[in-house]
Structure 1
Amino acid sequence: MNWREWQGRQEVMELGSRFVSYVDWGSGPPVVLLHGIPNWSYLWSGIAPGLAESYRVLAPDLLGYGFSDRRDRFDRSISRQAEALEAWMDRLGVVDATVVGHDVGGGVAQQLAVRFPQRVGRLCLMDSVCYDAWPKGLMAQLGTPAMARRLTPERLTRFLTQALKRKGFATPQTAEMLEGLLAPYATEVGMVSLSRDAVALNTNQTLELASKLGHLAVPVLVLWGEKDGILPAKYGERLAWDIPGARWMKVPNAGHFVMWDAPHAVAMELFRFLEGAAPVSHSTTRSVAEELWGSEAPVPA
C-alpha cells in the first residue's frame, strides 16, 4: 500500500479547536497504533491490513504530525498528546484498547497507561522513547531557530531520508517507502510543523514516569530492533525489567523501524501477544475525557 492509498483511508475528527486524522480499519477488539517522529500513521501500513482481519485497527496521526492539525501555537508534548488520545478514544466509544507505541508514540502510550489506565487493556512498546533516551542528532537540531531558518522542505526531506537510511533501518528500504514516511513534511507547512514537534521533545516527561512504570497492572510486551541505531536495545531491556511481568523480545536483523525491517516477525509477535495475554477490562461511569473537559472533550489550545 502506498502512502496516498493510506491517506485515502483516513477519517477526520474534530476535537475542540483541533482535528485528528486517523485510520479506522476492521472490526473486533480495538488496537491503537501510535507512530513517532518524523513519521505518521503510515508507519503501520505494512502490518495494519493483517491486524484488521481480526481486530479494529485505530491508527491516528498525532496532533501536529502527518495530516492531523498542523496549525501553529499549541502544545505537542507527549502529555498533551495522551490527553488528546483519551478524548479521541472517548468520542469513538472505545472504552479501552491494546495500545501499541513506537518511538515518541511509545512515550505517549506510557503517558496514557500511567495517567489514564482505564483506557489501556494491554500495552506494547516498540523501540520507544523512555527515561532520558530520545531521538538526537538532526531531530534535536530541527527544533532550534537557526536550523529551522536554514531549511527548505526539499533540504529537510533530503536530510531526513539520509538520516533514516543511516540509522533507522537494518535492511535496504525503497525510495517509495521513505518518500511515504516523510510525505507530510515535504511542504512548507509540514516542515514548520515538524520543527514544532521537535521542540516538544522533552525527556522530563518520560523521566517522570520512571517511578510509576512498576505500578502498571496490564499485560506488557516490549519489542525492540536488535540493531536500533537511534534508541539502543538496552533501553528496552530496562523497560522490560522495570515493568512487572513485561515480556521482552529482541528482533534480530532489525533497526529502529522494526515493523519495516522485520514485518512478519513483528506481526507474528504482536498476534501472539494479542491472542495470548488477556487484556485488563475497565469500565467507568464517567470518562476521564468528560472529567477533564466536559461532554465536548476539547483539546486545549
Structure 2
Amino acid sequence: MQTTDKQFNYLDIGSGFPLLLGHSYLFDRHMWEPQLDALAEHYRVIVPDLWGHGESPQLPASHTSLSDIAADHLALMDQLGIQEFGIVGLSVGGMWGAELAAVAPERVKVLVLLDSYMGDETPEERQRYFAMLDAVDQAGAITSPLLEYIAAQFYSDNVPASLLQPLIEHLQSLPADLLRNSIVPLGKMIFGRPDKLALLEKITATTLVITGELDKPRPPAEGQRMADILGCEHVLIPGAGHISNKENPEAVTKALLAFLAESTTPLF
C-alpha cells in the first residue's frame, strides 16, 4: 500500500463512537448531508473528500489501486488519533472500506456497504467503462450524450430533476486537468479492480449491506452475494438507485441508525 504526504479535506463533527464515511465516485463529502445531522447526534462523524473530489488535492501520482486509497484513510484515522472506528461506505467508499476492514480488523469494528461490490467487472463492462474514461480523457471534458448517460447511472429512472440536474451541471464543470489527472485514473482503478470478494471472509467487523432496489451499476444481486459471504443482513432501499442515500434518504437513515444502535455504544 502506498501512502502520501498529501492530506484529504474532511469534515469532523459530532461526538461518540467514530464513523468514517466514504462517498461515491464523482460525488464528494456533501453526498452524505441527508444523514449527517442524524448521525452526528450520536456519533463522531468524519467525512473526507476523495482525491480529486470536493476540496481534496488531486490523486497522488504514486497511487495505482484501491489498496492505496484504503491506506490513506487509515492514515487519516492515525492522524486523528482514532484507534477503533466504523466505516459507512457507498460505491467506491464501500470498496476501499471493505478492504480497510479486512486488513485492519482490530481497528474497524463496524462496516456498512451501500451500493457497492467487491467482485470485479465483467470483461464487457470493464471495456465499456474504460472506453468512456478514454473518451473523457481525450476530450478533457464530459460531453453530451455521455454526460447525461453517466449522470443517469447514479439514480433511478424516476429521479427528480432536483437531484439529477445539479449532478449534470457538476460533471459538466469539471476541468480538463482534474479529469485527466484524478477522475480518469481513479475511474480505471475502480472499474479495473480485481475480484476481491474473498477479502470479505477476513472481515470481523459487525456488517450490514444496503442496496437501492433500482441500482443500475450495482444491482441488488451483487449486494446479496456480499451479504451471503459476510453472513449479514441485506437491506433493500425502495425506489432508490445507486446514490440510495440521496434518492430515499429517510429509508437509508433509518436503516443506518437502527444498525448502528445495535452495533456500537453511542453517546445518547
TM beyond 0.5: yes
1:263 pairs with one of 242, 249, 261 = 249
Give the structure 2 partner of residue 56 of structure 1: 44
Aligned CA-pair RMSD: 2.6
Q: What secondary structure does 1:50 align onto? A: helix
Shift in alpha-carbon separation, 1:102–1:215, aligned structure 2, 3 A? same
2:188 pairs with one of 171, 174, 199 = 199
Aligned 8 A contact 1:219 1:278 in 2: no
1:224 pairs with 2:211: yes
Q: What secondary structure does 2:97 align onto? A: helix
Give the structure 1 partner of residue 22 of structure 2: 34
| 1:62-121 CA distance string (max 9 Å, x none) | 223332121562315210001111111010011121101111111101110111112211
1:213 pairs with 2:203: no
Q: TM-score, normalised by structure 2?
A: 0.85
Aligned 8 A contact 2:153 2:242 in 1: no
Task: Output the amino acid matched with 1:224.
Answer: T
Aligned 8 A contact 1:127 1:256 in 2: yes
Aligned 8 A contact 1:222 1:240 in 2: yes
CA distance in structure 2 between the aligned counterparts of 1:162 and 1:89, rounded to whole angstroms = 36
Q: What secondary structure does 2:9 align onto? A: strand
Give the structure 2 partner of residue 235 of structure 1: 222
CA distance in structure 1 between the aligned counterparts of 2:191 and 2:120, rounded to whole angstroms = 9
Count residues in correspondence.
258
Give the CA deviation at 1:251: 1.1
Aligned 8 A contact 2:87 2:97 in 1: yes
1:141 pairs with 2:131: yes
Task: Output the amino acid matched with 2:230.
Answer: I
Shift in alpha-carbon separation, 1:115–1:173, aligned structure 2, 3 A? farther
1:117 pairs with 2:73: no
1:189 pairs with 2:177: yes
2:61 pairs with one of 73, 76, 82 = 73
Give the CA deviation at 1:217: 1.9
Give the structure 2 partner of residue 292 of structure 1: none
Task: Output the amino acid matched with 2:186.
Answer: D
Shift in alpha-carbon separation, 1:257–1:202, aligned structure 2, 3 A? closer
Q: What secondary structure does 2:38 align onto? A: helix
Q: What secondary structure does 1:163 align onto? A: helix
| 1:17-41 CA distance string (max 9 Å, x none) | 3121111111111111101212222
Structure 1, unaligned stretches of length 5 or more?
Answer: 1-14, 280-301
Give the structure 2 partner of residue 298 of structure 1: none
CA distance in structure 2 between the aligned counterparts of 1:226 and 1:137, rounded to whole angstroms = 25
CA distance in structure 2 between the aligned counterparts of 1:224 and 1:121, rounded to whole angstroms = 21
Give the structure 2 partner of residue 249 of structure 1: 235
CA distance in structure 2 between the aligned counterparts of 1:173 and 1:47, rounded to whole angstroms = 21
CA distance in structure 1 between the aligned counterparts of 2:139 and 2:245, rounded to whole angstroms = 32
Aligned 8 A contact 1:35 1:41 in 2: yes
Structure 2, unaligned stretches of length 5 or more?
Answer: none
Aligned 8 A contact 2:70 2:100 in 1: yes
Give the structure 1 partner of residue 262 of structure 2: 276
